[in-house]
Structure 1
Amino acid sequence: MKEGFIDVTGGKVWYIIHNEQATGIPLLILHGGPGSSSYSLQGLKDLAIDRPVVLYDQLGCGKSDRPDDDSLWTLDRFVEEVGQVRKELGLNKVHILGHSWGTTLAAAYYFSDPKGISSIIFSSPCLSAPLWEKDQKKNLTLLPLEIQETIRSCEENGTTDTPAFQKAIEVFNDHFVCRLKPYPEPLKQGKHFRNPHVYQLMWGPSEFTVQGNLKAFDCTEQLPQISIPTLYTCGRYDEATPESTEYFSSRTPNASFHVFEKSAHMAYIEEPEQYRQVMNKFLVVIDK
Structure 2
Amino acid sequence: MYDRSVLADGFVVWDDRPADATHEVAVGGGHKVRVYSYGEGDETVFLLNGGPGLPCNYLRAPHLPLVEAGYRMVVHDQLGTGASDHPDDPSLWTLGRYVEEVEAVLAALDLKRIHFLGHSWGGWCGIEYALTYPQRIASMILANTAADIPHLLTEIERLRGAMGHETVQMMQRFEAMGNYDHPAYQAVVDLLDFRHIRRLPERPKPAADSKAGFNYPIFLAVQGPNEYHYTGSIRTWNRIDQLHRFTWPTLVIQGQHDVLTPACGMRIFNALPNGEIRIFQNSSHSAFYEEPQAYRQTLLDFLGRQRATG
Measured against the shorter chain, the TM-score band is over 0.9
TM-score normalized by the length of structure 2: 0.88
Aligned to 1:141: 161
How far off is 1:65 after superposition? 1.0
Aligned to 2:286: 266
How far off is 1:182 after superposition? 3.2
* Cα distance in 1, alignment partners of residues 263 and 232 from structure 2: 25
TM-score normalized by the length of structure 1: 0.95
Aligned to 2:12: none
Q: Which runs of 5+ in 1 are unaligned?
A: none
**Counterpart secondary structure, 2:235:** coil
Counterpart check, 1:5 vs 2:30: no
Counterpart check, 1:28 vs 2:46: yes
**Counterpart secondary structure, 1:84:** helix
Counterpart check, 1:152 vs 2:193: no
* Cα distance in 1, alignment partners of residues 292 and 147 from structure 2: 24
Match of 1:39 among 57, 64, 68: 57
* Cα distance in 2, alignment partners of residues 139 and 124 from structure 1: 16
Aligned to 1:243: 263
* Cα distance in 2, alignment partners of residues 273 and 194 from structure 1: 27
CA deviations on 1:100-138 (whole Å, 9 max, x unpaired) are 010100000010110131001110112122112111111
Counterpart check, 1:112 vs 2:132: yes
**Counterpart secondary structure, 1:214:** helix
CA deviations on 1:20-74 (whole Å, 9 max, x unpaired) are x222x10000100111221111221111221101111110112211101111111
How far off is 1:145 after superposition? 5.0
Aligned to 2:195: 175
* Cα distance in 2, alignment partners of residues 171 and 278 from structure 1: 29
How far off is 1:17 after superposition? 1.0
Aligned to 1:56: 76
Indicate the larger mover: 255-264 or 125-134.
125-134
Counterpart check, 1:196 vs 2:216: yes
How far off is 1:16 after superposition? 1.1
Aligned to 1:17: 37
How far off is 1:146 after superposition? 5.5
Percent identical pairs in the alignment equals 31
* Cα distance in 2, alignment partners of residues 7 and 161 from structure 1: 36
Aligned to 1:65: 85
* Cα distance in 1, alignment partners of residues 164 and 180 from structure 2: 18
CA deviations on 1:231-282 (whole Å, 9 max, x unpaired) are 0011010111112211210110110000111100011111111111111110
**Counterpart secondary structure, 1:64:** coil
Aligned to 1:214: 234
* Cα distance in 2, alignment partners of residues 15 and 131 from structure 1: 33
How far off is 1:152 after superposition? 2.1
Question: CA distance change for structure 1 residues 79 and 236 in 2, over 3 Å: closer, same or farther?
Answer: same
Indicate the larger mover: 137-146 or 237-246.
137-146
Equivalent residue pairs, number: 286
